[in-house]
A and B are shown apart, each in its own frame.
Chain A
Amino acid sequence: QLVESGGGLVQPGGSLRLSCAASGFTFNNYWMTWVRQAPGKGLEWVANIKQDGSEKDYVDSVKGRFSISRDNVKKSLYLQMNSLRADDTAVYYCARDMAVAGGSYYYYGMDVRGQGTTVTVSS
């Protein structure tokens, strides 16, 4: 199970930090991902992070503004969002991604298990 939180209304140029609490699986064996969905639009991958936090990747539109991180002790995933723009308005979902065990990679799909948290960027 994944439970997102931290969304809300923020002015353009502002910042917000999203959190995702994981349970029911071995969190530190998985890459984790954020995806988003603007109102009435399709899905967009935002960022993901390796199980130990040493590798991160971002969609071009958020590079330099968003930062993904994780705390494996707390079994939590984060998304720090700075310099927010109106087009960042969306529901943000966290998802379980690639599994890694013993140095080998195992893929069972990018599994979106949370209910999402809504971010609205507006003045």
Chain B
Amino acid sequence: EIVLTQSPDTLSLSPGERATLSCRASQSVSGYLAWYQQKPGQAPRLLIYDASNRATDIPARISGSGSGTDFTLTISSLEPEDFGVYYCQQRRNWPSYTFGQGTKLEIK
């Protein structure tokens, strides 16, 4: 099983700052990595699929990069609605998926 490890566990930043979240895979997942945002009491929202493709209606300030085992989600200038928990997910062995443990992005 491919294990995804996210870092840091918690990130405390202020609106307007740049956020960088990391996801590392235990073996190569090629470019088959997605990112989700989840707010309390809500379903996860797809942000990025296949490493760098923004999902529908996702703003340009949110971007993804990486390949193989190391991936990054970058939010160039944080807005209040960007806070929440972020998960990475791999589909290297689709149709099965695994998720990372999550990174909490909180307001400083």
Contacts and interface: CB of A to CB of B under 8 A. Distances in A.
Interface string A91-123: 001000110000000011111111110000000
Nearest to A94: B43
Contacts of A97: 95
B63 to A, nearest CB: 15
A48 B94 CA distance: 10
A111 B55 contact: yes
Interface residues on B, range: 20 to 34
Nearest to B43: A112
Nearest to A48: B95
Interface string B81-108: 0000001010100111111111000000
Nearest to B55: A109
Contacts of A112: 36, 43-46
Interface stretch (A12-20, A39-47, A70-78, A79-87): A39-47
Query: How many A residues touch the partner, as a band?
Result: 20 to 34
A43 B49 contact: no
B36 A43 contact: yes
6 contacts: A42-B101, A44-B99, A109-B46, A109-B53, A112-B46, A115-B43
Contacts of B102: 42-43
Interface string B39-54: 0001111101110010
Contacts of A116: 43
Contacts of B97: 33, 35, 45, 110
A52 interface: no
B34 interface: yes
Nearest to B34: A109
Nearest to A111: B46
B96 to A, nearest CB: 6
A9 interface: no
A55 B100 CA distance: 26
B95 A113 contact: no
A111 B91 CA distance: 13
